[in-house]
Amino acid sequence: MEKTVTLKIDKHTVTVPEGTIVLDAAKKVGVDIPTLCYINMEGTAVKSNPTSCRICVVEIEGRKNLAPACATACTEGMIVRTSTTRVLNARRIVAELILSDHPNECLVCPKSGKCELQKLAQRFNIREMPFAGGELSQRTKEVTAAIVRNMDKCILCRRCENVCNNVQTVGALGAIKRGFNTMIAPAFERNLADSECTYCGQCVAVCPTGALSEHDYTNRLLDDLADSDKIVIVQTAPSVRAALGEEFGLPAGTLVTGKMVAALKELGFAKVFDTDFSADLTIMEEGAEIIDRLTHFLNKDKLVRLPILTSCCPAWVNFFEKQFPDMLDIPSTARSPQQMFGSIAKTCWAEMMGIPKEKLICVSIMPCLAKKYECSREEFKKDGVPDVDYSLSTRELAELIKKANINFNSLPDEDFDQPLGESTGAGVIFGATGGVLEAALRTVYEVYTKKKLANINFTEVRGLDGIKKATIDLNGFPLHVGIANGLGNARRLLEEIRTGKSEYHVIEIMACPGGCIGGGGQPQHHGNVEILKARTAALYKEDANKKLRKSHENPYIVKLYEEYLGKPLSEQAHKLLHTHYFNRAENE
């Protein structure tokens, strides 16, 4: 039986399992201790309690100093006081100190209204800044294709450092210099663009202030929309519809597909398409590749290496290009759905519609910041023009809708335009960890075994676990599949492959905890893991409600192959839908 301890928190007596931190014990009895640096998304690897902000300090009887509730374990008979004058005074002064080194730019800050520091200042009722007027620490500003760093707004909570190093194991961000000059930056104060950064955006996702934000393309989009010479089309990623509503006060997990399409149309896009369509297309190519490699493998072809890894996630691509350059031949060569969409839209669709290429602007709405960078990769440009011109995050779309005075919640549901708006349930679940693999399995199983699936729900690959595995019976062949979300988990699977210990035939990897629904471009989750769960559930609900749930049954995909691409892995498909990878490791 689990050992418990009983303690007193203010006037409450509470019994909790041994090892519980005071913060959680207090929560149990309704005492809400403020926190700032602390983040803990149970069920994922995201956990950071460096005990550095000192906002959550409490008085513990018998201890000389105040103790951080976020890291102090409850002990038997402990007496905790959370709101004595000493505690309240200390917290207020600590908050005032943080504010004294923070630019007062709330009015023009992208995080205004969602900033945890702002919220804290309000909670503490801070109306004066007794320590303001002193030196402000000088900190870097940097604009990359995906992430913007305004480090003067950094409060050194170290959450980004934690996710970058411990969760993602990327190691791009860390504390450098010391004392008042401490800042979070890549080693040797290099630019993020020159570092190991994969642009996964998890640092942005956890940043409590405006220090880390996305590169904002909303103004560029407004310019393009206003330009009568341009035809602006948009694609929206699966995860956007499951999270966008949060920005308009709707509960997490509210599906707003129809409203989102309506809003995009109102914004003036010529066509509103769906990345789910190209997700289906991705399955066709990736699925064919899986079957092809598997067949060779089963025929004892020594030139073919398994496992095959998915390649939809651009942060993941950056990760293996920078950190596992010896394994560039393992991932699938299929482009990501975003890039497949751009490629098809600017070739096949533009030709079909008779739109000159130079007039066509292809925009994507993504839950992701790495997608912004992916658009700018040279291999995804033709004559210097990107297939996808630029990408906006879910958050930017929400801001844009607000800016355009669109009453989002009262919008009627509208449908995507065709043909690039047609999709199956398989395309929808791409947004959740395990979703790509499940979508692939639905197609691979039926194509390979030439049998219909009795149950198309592969529930064993669903859920937030960092690493999941399952075995699928393919005509008697046990296909071992593995799924990792979070780059730290991906690293574990890659190390296994490197050392020849991998048991898997197919592996899906998504850089962000929970998959794209937890992407760096999504509305802030502020460490609440329930939000990720609700978004995931929404995607599976949309999948379940779809009439077609297997990519190869998407009629427009079928048509696209018949009329334009031939068959999966054809020469034309290779040209438009596949890519290659580069060794971008620093010392090799």
Partner 1 sequence: MSKITSPEDLLKIKNDYAERMKLREEAQDVTPAKVSGLNTGTKKIQILCCSSVCCLSSKSGEIADKFCQLAKEQNVTDRVDVIRTGCFGFCEKGPNVKIVPDNTFYTEVKLDDVDEIFKTHILGGKRVDRLLFEDPKTHKRIPDSKDMNFYRKQMRIALRNCCFIDPEDIKEYIARDGYMSLANCIKKMTPKEVIEVVKKSGLRGRGGAGFPTGMKWEFASKSVSDVKYVVCNADEGDPGAFMDRSIMEGDPNSIIEAMAICGYAIGAENGLVYIRAEYPLAVKRLKIAREQARKLGLLGKNIFGSNFNFDIDIRYGAGAFVCGEETALIHSMEGKRGEPTLKPPFPAVKGYLGKPTNVNNVETLANIPPIFLNGPDWFNKIGTEKSKGTKVFALAGKINNQGLVEVPMGTTLREVIYDIGEGIKGGKKFKSVQTGGPSGGCLTEKDLDTPIDYDNLMAAGSIMGSGGMIVMDEDDCMVAIAKFYLEFIVGESCGKCTPCRVGNKRMLEILNRIVDGKGNMDDLKKMRTLANVIKDCALCGLGQTSPNPVLSTLDNFYDEYVAHVKDKTCPAKHCQNLLTYTINPEKCQGCTACAKTCPGNAIVGTPRKPHTILPDKCIKCGMCMSRCKFGAISVC
Q: Which one of residues 50, 258, 325, 463 is an interface residue with partner 1 (CB under 8 A)?
A: 50
Nearer to partner 1, 96 or 460 (CB): 96
Catalytic residue check, 3: no
Would you tell me the crossing angle of helices 435-449 and 275-298 to the nearest 10 degrees?
A: 50
Token pair recorded at residue 83? 């709101």
Residue 93 CB, nearest approach to partner 1 (Å): 5
Q: Which residue matches tokens 């850089």?
A: 511
SS3 category, 176: strand
Catalytic residue check, 516: yes
Q: Which one of residues 6, 40, 52, 528 is an interface residue with partner 1 (CB under 8 A)?
A: 52
Catalytic residue check, 371: yes
Q: Which one of residues 15, 84, 89, 459 is an interface residue with partner 1 (CB under 8 A)?
A: 89
Which amino acid is located at 557 in the chain? I
**C-alpha–C-alpha distance, residues 406 and 396, integer Å:** 14
Q: Which is the catalytic residue, given 379, 495, 530, 563?
A: 379
Q: Does 182 bind partner 1 (CB under 8 A)?
A: yes
Catalytic residue check, 508: no
Measured between its terminal Cα atoms, the distance across the chain in Å is: 53
**C-alpha–C-alpha distance, residues 471 and 461, integer Å:** 10
Nearer to partner 1, 67 or 420 (CB): 67
Q: Which one of residues 16, 57, 173, 294 is an interface residue with partner 1 (CB under 8 A)?
A: 57
Nearer to partner 1, 89 or 475 (CB): 89
Binding part of the chain for partner 1, among 76-84, 172-180, 399-407, 540-548 by CB under 8 A, reads 172-180
* CB environment 215-231: b (16+ within 10 A), e (fewer): bbbeeebeebbeeeeeb
Catalytic residue check, 379: yes
Interstrand relation of 506-510 and 308-309 (parallel, antiparallel or unpaired): parallel
Residue 131 CB, nearest approach to partner 1 (Å): 5
What stretch of H or E contains 338?
helix 337-344
Catalytic residue check, 450: no
Catalytic residue check, 106: no
**Helix extents (H) in 82-167:** 85-100, 116-123, 159-162
Residue 458 CB, nearest approach to partner 1 (Å): 38
Residues of this chain, 118-157, that bind partner 1 according to CB under 8 A: 130-131, 134-135, 155-156
Q: Which one of residues 29, 126, 175, 456 is an interface residue with partner 1 (CB under 8 A)?
A: 175
Q: Does 51 bind partner 1 (CB under 8 A)?
A: yes
**C-alpha–C-alpha distance, residues 125 and 300, integer Å:** 70
Residue 123 CB, nearest approach to partner 1 (Å): 16
Q: How many CB atoms lie within 10 A of CB 247?
A: 20
Q: Which one of residues 29, 97, 193, 447 is an interface residue with partner 1 (CB under 8 A)?
A: 97
Catalytic residue check, 374: yes
Token pair recorded at residue 342? 């751009």
Q: Does 66 bind partner 1 (CB under 8 A)?
A: yes
Residue 65 CB, nearest approach to partner 1 (Å): 6
Identify the DSSP state of 253. T
Contact 514, 429 (CB under 8 A): no
* CA distance to 45, 74, 335, 341, 547, per residue, from 347 (Å): 41, 63, 15, 10, 29
CA-nearest of 3, 7, 32 to 17 is 3
CA-nearest of 361, 355, 356 to 224 is 361
Q: Which one of residues 9, 22, 35, 68 is an interface residue with partner 1 (CB under 8 A)?
A: 68
Contact 380, 387 (CB under 8 A): yes
Binding site for partner 1 (CB under 8 A): 50-55, 57, 65-66, 68, 71-73, 86, 89-90, 93-94, 97-98, 100-101, 130-131, 134-135, 155-156, 158, 174-175, 177-182
Q: Active-site residues: which are they?
A: 286, 289, 312, 332, 371, 374, 379, 516
